[in-house]
A and B are shown apart, each in its own frame.
Chain A
Amino acid sequence: MTDRGFDLVDIIDLNRTPSFGALWLVELAFASRKGNIFKAIDWYY
């Protein structure tokens, strides 16, 4: 996704196996660098 012009912005879900509790799948959200949607978020509080 980075090569396609996107940056990671959120981790939506961590899907763990019922048997071992191991991390099987993750659901991720990426935002386009062109869009600049998240530019307003640059401080913690």
Chain B
Amino acid sequence: MHCSSRDMLKRAKKLEGGFKSAAVDYLLSLKFFQRVARFLLENRTQNLEFRPFLGKAFNANTEPIFGLLPNLDYKPEHIVDVSAHRGAWTISAMRLFPDAKFTLFETQCGLLSGNKALQANNVTLNFLGVGPKSSEAFFIEHARQDSRFFTWSENEAETSNSAQQLLTINSLDDYFQKHQDWPRPQVLNIEGKRRDLEVLKVGAQMIKSCDIGFVLATVLNRKSPDTAPR
């Protein structure tokens, strides 16, 4: 297959971005870095430009609402994180609800397995894809770790420049029908992209029974609802 120099340059740029993103993700996952970031955020950097970057270390954005819930006498017993990535959202929730049970879903097992904070008894890690129904789908391995996604379309899988593999998908209803040993899920976070969000469209019973749902939604990214930079 012919590959022009322009295409090669494009690919090289993609890989470079992916490496940088992976390096930043790795730094942000380190506990020491998270402590420094938290200290700077809470004490020194009220108006500095790098505040969003530091906040990514432990998902500081969720702290206002998580801090509000105990004041409303609400303490969830079971929290579910779909597309957990490195678990930053879950760790943020664990700080305020240490007694809750946590169920995480993440397709890329390498992202979560090294995180010691998630090796507790009250955490279940599932290295599974989640979708509207249990089936199989192509997982597109974009250069950016936070932009990898499932596609049900063979056409899209074929035309994608990135590597791909066929993986098993589980529906949330099927999963929680088999795993009923913990209380019903009360808080659900879906940071998934594209097909992951179809979980919401089908209106799974599990979602209807939740008290609070966190959802990532696109605004100007209309063509491709994921986090990949254009």
Residues of A within 8 A of B (CB): 1, 3-6, 9-10, 12-13, 15, 17-18, 22-32, 35, 37-38, 40-41
Contact = CB atoms under 8 A, between A and B. Distances in A.
A24 B214 contact: no
A31 B188 CA distance: 10
Interface residues on B, range: 20 to 34
Contacts of A9: 65, 212
Contacts of A38: 72
B200 interface: yes
Given A32-B211, A35-B211, A1 B200 contact: yes
A4 B214 CA distance: 14
A25 B216 CA distance: 7
B124 interface: no
Contact of A26 (B74, B217, B229): B217
29 contacts: A3-B203, A4-B207, A4-B208, A9-B65, A9-B212, A10-B65, A12-B61, A15-B227, A17-B229, A22-B220, A23-B219, A23-B220, A24-B221, A25-B219, A25-B227, A26-B216, A27-B214, A27-B216, A29-B213, A30-B212, A30-B213, A31-B211, A31-B213, A32-B210, A35-B211, A37-B211, A37-B212, A38-B72, A41-B72
